[in-house]
Amino acid sequence: MDISLPNNLISLDPVSDIKVTIRKTSVEINEELLEAVRKILGTKTVKETVEKAFREVVSAEARREEIEALETMRGMDLDRPDVMGGAWRS
């Protein structure tokens, strides 16, 4: 998908090598909490800390969704004998 935005709003994501929209904003941040998160994540700058924390939240949600899918067998054929019958070989 190609989105036409001014060049200063587009950046190449270092993780996925895709173009992402960047928004500059001003936020009040609890300094003690920021420092604690920075130490946990091993980051140096506020930007790096916030971005890595965001990625951690997104990753945690993806893991939670995968666990739920495994627990409920949602979208899987593992409970179907006609599918699983050919999975095991003697």
User: For each of the chain's 90 residues, which pLDDT tens digit applies?
Assistant: 444 445 454 555 566 666 778 888 899 999 999 999 999 999 999 999 999 999 999 999 999 998 988 888 777 777 778 877 777 765
Global pTM reads 0.62
What span, in angstroms and rounded, lies between the C-alpha atoms of 73 and 68?
8
Nearest alpha-carbon partner for 56 in 69, 72, 40, 45 = 40
